[in-house]
């Protein structure tokens, strides 16, 4: 009989962990600006794009009216005699079209999540963001069939945000899993390593995008640059019965 696995559950972050959200968002915003210019907005593409980036930085990525605010910041001549609602709609449509075409999980993600479920390991999500947006990402990524529906925790939905360790504590308690028997995988050490380690969870720093440095966060138990590496860690070091 093979040795018993050392974990009962693996929880994942979404953004820049399961998919390259930052790079995708940049492409989608660029396509939105180009569509707005094609719809009649006047201006230099780079200047308009930089202004949009400022809007997002000031109002947060979860704000719903970035393009409306963008038009307010541009010279009146930028619109000329065009209807601003149509220009904004062109940007929104281009952004979502990019989402339909390009949002995809990193290589190996779907297969690993599927194999974890088959091995009897609970597969969950602990993520920061708006409920609808984060849930939509999971649907578009095609990962919902591989997740335990009772183990999905979105900060907006449960009222606790990272880096508050309570979001991890709530996930453990609601799933009935001991901290030492759970692994968390995320890209941001401040949010995804420090808090779960405080509770005694195992942690894995996903460095597929390399947006963050370790800083003063504690050293994670594992570091990966691909999901092939994570598969090996789970199989060889945590004794999960996974195929090669």
Residue 227: per-residue pLDDT: 98
Pick the CATH number of 9-19+105-237 from 3.40.50.2300, 3.40.50.300, 3.40.50.620, 3.40.50.1000: 3.40.50.1000
Using a CB cutoff of 8 Å and minimum separation of 24, what contacts does 40-44 make? 40/79, 40/80, 40/82, 40/86, 40/87, 41/71, 41/74, 41/78, 41/79, 41/82, 41/87, 42/77, 42/78, 42/79, 42/80, 43/74, 43/75, 43/78
Does position 11 have pLDDT exceeding 80, yes or no? yes
Please compute the mean of the pLDDT values over residues 41-61 and round it to a whole number.
Answer: 95
Would you kindly state where each structural domain of the chain is located, as residue ranges? 9-19+105-237, 23-102
Beta-carbon contacts of residue 136 (< 8 Å; ≥ 6 apart)? none
Res 210 pLDDT > 80: no
Q: Each residue of 151-169: pLDDT tens digit?
A: 999 999 999 999 999 999 9
Helices of type H across 39-81: 45-59, 66-73
pLDDT of residue 37: 97
Residue 2 has pLDDT above 70, yes or no: no
Q: Are 126 and 168 in contact (CB under 8 A)?
A: yes
Per-residue pLDDT of 174-208, as tens digits, reads 999 999 999 999 999 999 999 999 999 999 999 99
> If one looks up domain 23-102 in CATH, what number appears?
1.10.150.520
User: How far apart are the C-alpha atoms of 190 and 87, rounded to whole Å?
Assistant: 39
Percent of the chain with pLDDT over 90: 87
Torsion of CA 232, 183, 112, 151, to 10 degrees: 170
pLDDT 10s digits, 60-95 = 888 889 999 999 999 989 998 899 999 999 999 999
The answer to whether the beta carbons of residues 201 and 168 sit under 8 Å apart is: yes
Calpha distance 119→123 (Å, rounded) = 11
Band the pLDDT of 218: cuts 50, 70, 90. Answer: confident
Instruction: Name the residue with higher pLDDT: 214 or 146.
Output: 146
Confidence of residue 5 (pLDDT cuts 50, 70, 90): confident
pLDDT of residue 1: 47
């Amino acid at each position: 009989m093979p040795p018993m696995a050392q974990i009962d559950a693996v929880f994942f972050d979404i953004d820049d962990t399961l998919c390259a959200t930052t790079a995708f968002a940049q492409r989608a915003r660029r396509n939105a600006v180009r569509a707005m210019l094609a719809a009649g907005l006047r201006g230099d593409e780079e200047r308009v794009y930089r202004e949009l980036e400022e809007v997002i930085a000031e109002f947060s990525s979860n704000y719903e009216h970035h393009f409306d605010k963008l038009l307010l910041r541009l010279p009146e001549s930028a619109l000329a005699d065009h209807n601003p609602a149509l220009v904004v709609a062109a940007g929104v449509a281009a952004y979502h079209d990019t989402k339909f075409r390009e949002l995809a999980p990193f290589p190996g993600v779907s297969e690993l999540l599927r194999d974890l479920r088959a091995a009897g390991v609970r597969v969950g999500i602990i993520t920061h963001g708006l409920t609808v947006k984060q849930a939509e990402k999971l649907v578009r990524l095609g990962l919902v069939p591989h997740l335990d529906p009772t183990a999905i925790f979105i900060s907006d939905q449960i009222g606790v945000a990272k880096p508050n360790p309570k979001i991890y504590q709530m996930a453990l308690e609601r799933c009935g899993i001991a901290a030492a028997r759970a692994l968390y995988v995320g890209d941001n050490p401040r949010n995804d390593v420090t808090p779960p380690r405080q509770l005694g969870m195992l942690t894995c720093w996903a460095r597929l995008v390399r947006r963050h440095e370790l800083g003063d966060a504690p050293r994670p138990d594992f570091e990966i640059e691909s999901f092939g590496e994570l598969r090996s860690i789970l199989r060889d070091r945590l004794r999960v019965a996974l195929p090669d």
